[in-house]
Amino acid sequence: MSEGVPGSAASDTVDAAEAVRLGMITEAVPDERLDDAVAAWAARLAEGPTRTIGSLKNGINFGLTNDMERSLEF
């Protein structure tokens, strides 16, 4: 992902394949497949360990809004 930082600062555009390669996105799909791809992703999340996913989301959000010391205590 570090390759994307200089490009972001320079406002370079990135196509879908490059965004996947850089780890900016996990998957790129054509417009006509977007609804199916979103539904499949939502089903995968719903079938997964929802409490664990929720805790992970809370931890990420906490880390994004707090300093390192407070985040490590979380």
- Domain-by-domain residue ranges, the chain? 4-73
| pTM of the entire predicted model | 0.57
* N- to C-terminal Cα separation, the chain: 25
Which of the pair, 60 or 8, is modelled with greater confidence? 60
Read off the pLDDT of residues 7-57 as tens digits, 9 standing for 90 and up: 566 678 899 999 999 999 999 999 999 999 999 999 999 999 999 999 999
Residue 5 scores a pLDDT above 70? no
Please tell me the predicted confidence (pLDDT) of residue 36: 97
Q: Which two tokens stand for residue 12?
A: 């370079």
Q: What totals of helices (H) and strands (E) does the chain contain, helices first?
A: 5, 0
Rounded Cα gap, residues 35 and 16, in angstroms: 17
Please tell me the predicted confidence (pLDDT) of residue 74: 78
Q: Are 22 and 14 in contact (CB under 8 A)?
A: yes
Residue 4 scores a pLDDT above 70? no
